[in-house]
Amino acid sequence: MPLKFANRFVDQLPADPIANTPNSSTPTSSEIALSRQPRQVRGACYSRAWPLKPAHPKLLCLADEVAQLLGLSPEETQSSWFLNAFSGRELLPEMQPFAMCYGGHQFGHWAGQLGDGRAINLGEVIGTDSGRWMLQLKGSGPTPYSRQADGLAVLRSSIREFLCSEAMHHLGVPTTRALCLIGTGEQVVRDMFYDGRPRREPGAIVCRVAPSFVRFGNFEILAARQEIDLLKQLIDYVILTDFPELLPTSHRTVGNETIVAWFHEICRRTAIMIVEWMRVGFVHGVMNTDNMSILGLTIDYGPYGWLEDYDPTWTPNTTDAQGRRYCYGQQPQIAYWNLAQLANAIAPCIDDSTSLEEGLKLYVETMRSEWQNSMARKLGLSSWDSHQDSPLVEDLFELLRSTEIDMTWFYQLLASWTPTHTSPNALSNSTTSDSRRRDALGHFQGSFYRDESNNTELATQLESWLTRYEMRSHNDGIPSANRLALMKRANPRFVLRNYLAQQAIEEAEAGDPSRISQLLNVLRNPYDEQPAMQSFAEKRPEWARNKPGCSTLSCSS
């Protein structure tokens, strides 16, 4: 067995005293029963927890590059020990499974203790790059944090989590990873639409992989319970293990200044993550503080979605359809709000809390500069010029909002737009403008969800915006090849469109999981043309417009 474990979280932080038998890979049945008993866990960062043993696990998909990162060969990933370990059937000797204690603000309200209700951390592996990777099974049974729920996950939500984590990684967006997707061979009952009509669905487990799964909520729960010594201990642990570069060179103790620097770094990373979501059109859907990673990674893929028609008020989450708290356009503000909750939580460990406000300001500044940088790249400009580009981009968004335009396709077509008349002088001629309007409408036709061929208002708006864009691009002086190269790297061609995930789900539920691997393959190179795979770049077909799973998702998973 090639995996090398170093279980720092369990070794260095206090455990729930109930059912706490360290290093026990063969717990007694009473320990197991206790580990599945819902309770409030005080004075601890985690509880020991043991996965259920599914009767007929089956490997449905593997992310080879994640296996490689952990040092696993293709033969090993096909072995029986691999299937047993990552389905929870038979743990490896060095694994010390545990569930973390955390709380969170859900939809703006403090929700108390939440915790890993259906996630069990198996242990921390030293990867081939010397990095440390926590392995975590999602959907492998109840823990003390499961409350009234079963700790399980269904195939549909597991496919979505598996594929999206990897898709985001290949897009260059900070994210947790996924090693494998395993079908449990067992049925899980879910009331998918919350309409009193539960049905049995196939169960599945995703093995998630990240340097750490610590969330804002891990700190919030300790602050809410006034467990300040433990809060300081957790802060120290996270800084020492995941942010060692912030420690003073002279000593390795975490003082006030280091905690402040750490909060600033979280603000900076969170801003970068959100800008990346906005760049690719990702909507998380449940940005509760328990779903915010302390490392600035995208975490917990639930009712997420991808913006198709550019509508900043769009949210995939039906639970959020009323308030739209977590819609696409709100994500930057919500991340700020979440960071403010984290600041409140860690404030008791800091001398002067105004330094935390500085962190929030840093978030705003980073957000602004990164976003401008990202938009400049999306438009193929060598750099952002606020004076010219702020109105240009505002008007672009106005244009995109004015009718149903696919965001991904729009930027693809913008990259391939070759102006008919590049000379600004030629643009004043009205006949030329007429033909340019027709050209523009024709060129962008592929990004429209409705027939816009007679939409003269859109044609005028589009042509006028393109004229300004061409002039800006011309004055920028960027060589055409560089402009294209910038745009190509900033604008994905292939994203995990909601309907694509749904097709893979339906086929897998019907017994054929092959489309999951096929999609993963396409999503490995989201910026490349891949002509043979063009069908995976198609914008949402009409049948998917209002179909559940494609346009709307519930939290049921």
| Partner from Mg ion, ligand AMP, none binding residue 118, C-beta < 5-8 Å depending on class | ligand AMP
Name the residue whose CB lies closest to Mg ion. Answer: 300
- Judged by CB, which is closer to ligand AMP: 184, or 366? 184
- Judged by CB, which is closer to ligand AMP: 165, or 473? 165
Among 300, 389, 452, 463, binds Mg ion (CB under 5 A): 300
- Judged by CB, which is closer to ligand AMP: 291, or 491? 291
The Cα–Cα gap between 200 and 529 comes to 40
| Partner from Mg ion, ligand AMP, none binding residue 303, C-beta < 5-8 Å depending on class | none
- Judged by CB, which is closer to ligand AMP: 265, or 300? 300
- Judged by CB, which is closer to ligand AMP: 68, or 106? 106
Cβ(446)–Cβ(522) below 8 Å: no
* Number of DSSP helices (H) and strands (E) in the chain, helices first: 18, 11
- Judged by CB, which is closer to Mg ion: 212, or 433? 212
Is 286 a binder of ligand AMP (CB under 6 A)? yes
Least distance from Mg ion to the Cβ atom of residue 41, Å: 17
Cβ(205)–Cβ(184) below 8 Å: yes
Return the closest-CA partner of residue 448 out of 551, 542, 313.
542
Kindly report the number of other CB atoms within 10 A of residue 392's CB atom. Answer: 17
The Cα–Cα gap between 47 and 99 comes to 5
The Cα–Cα gap between 30 and 34 comes to 6
The Cα–Cα gap between 470 and 474 comes to 6
**Segment near Mg ion (CB under 5 A); pick from 299-307, 442-450, 477-485, 499-507:** 299-307
For 237-385, strand residue ranges (E) read: 282-283, 305-306
Cβ(183)–Cβ(153) below 8 Å: no
Least distance from ligand AMP to the Cβ atom of residue 553, Å: 12
Among 57, 88, 97, 117, binds ligand AMP (CB under 6 A): 117
Is 296 a binder of ligand AMP (CB under 6 A)? no
Is 114 a binder of ligand AMP (CB under 6 A)? yes
- Judged by CB, which is closer to Mg ion: 265, or 300? 300
| Partner from ligand AMP, Mg ion, none binding residue 146, C-beta < 5-8 Å depending on class | ligand AMP
Cβ(98)–Cβ(104) below 8 Å: no
Return the closest-CA partner of residue 60 out of 203, 168, 173.
203
- Collapsing DSSP states into helix, strand and coil, what is residue 438? helix
The Cα–Cα gap between 500 and 537 comes to 9
Site for ligand AMP in 203-222 (CB under 6 A): none
| Partner from ligand AMP, Mg ion, none binding residue 218, C-beta < 5-8 Å depending on class | none
**Segment near ligand AMP (CB under 6 A); pick from 76-84, 116-124, 351-359, 418-426:** 116-124
Tell me the sheet residues that pair with 205. 182
| Partner from Mg ion, ligand AMP, none binding residue 50, C-beta < 5-8 Å depending on class | none
Is 291 a binder of ligand AMP (CB under 6 A)? yes
Least distance from ligand AMP to the Cβ atom of residue 102, Å: 7
Helix H or strand E segment including 46: strand 46-48
**Segment near Mg ion (CB under 5 A); pick from 285-293, 350-358, 452-460, 461-469:** 285-293
Structure tokens at 105: 């603000």
Name the residue whose CB lies closest to ligand AMP. Answer: 117
| Partner from ligand AMP, Mg ion, none binding residue 138, C-beta < 5-8 Å depending on class | none
- Judged by CB, which is closer to Mg ion: 220, or 300? 300
The Cα–Cα gap between 120 and 142 comes to 9
Least distance from ligand AMP to the Cβ atom of residue 322, Å: 17
Least distance from Mg ion to the Cβ atom of residue 119, Å: 8
Cβ(103)–Cβ(224) below 8 Å: yes
Least distance from Mg ion to the Cβ atom of residue 217, Å: 9
The Cα–Cα gap between 186 and 204 comes to 8
Is 291 a binder of Mg ion (CB under 5 A)? yes
**Segment near Mg ion (CB under 5 A); pick from 20-28, 286-294, 367-375, 428-436:** 286-294
Amino acid at 539: K
Q: How many residues in total does the chain contain? A: 557
Catalytic residue among 290, 300, 309, 476: 290
Site for ligand AMP in 133-152 (CB under 6 A): 145-146, 149-152
| Partner from ligand AMP, Mg ion, none binding residue 152, C-beta < 5-8 Å depending on class | ligand AMP
Is 115 a binder of ligand AMP (CB under 6 A)? yes
Among 16, 116, 124, 309, binds ligand AMP (CB under 6 A): 116
The Cα–Cα gap between 180 and 503 comes to 19
Q: Is 451 annotated in the active site?
A: no
DSSP string, 76-139: HHTSHHHHHHHHTSS--TT---EEE--EEEETTEEEEE---SSEEEEEEEE-TTS-EEEEEEES
Distance of CA 62 to the CA centre of its chain: 19
Size of residue set near Mg ion by CB under 5 A: 2
How far from each other are the two terminal CA atoms of the chain, in whole angstroms?
33
Among 51, 144, 203, 302, binds ligand AMP (CB under 6 A): 302
Structure tokens at 426: 């030629």
| Partner from Mg ion, ligand AMP, none binding residue 117, C-beta < 5-8 Å depending on class | ligand AMP
- Judged by CB, which is closer to ligand AMP: 285, or 513? 285
Helix axes 155-171 and 514-523, enclosed angle (nearest 10): 20
Backbone dihedral angles phi then psi of residue 190, each to the nearest 5 degrees? -140, 140
List contacts with Mg ion (CB under 5 A). Answer: 291, 300
> What is the set of active-site residues?
290
List contacts with ligand AMP (CB under 6 A). Answer: 114-118, 145-146, 149-152, 286, 288, 291, 300, 302
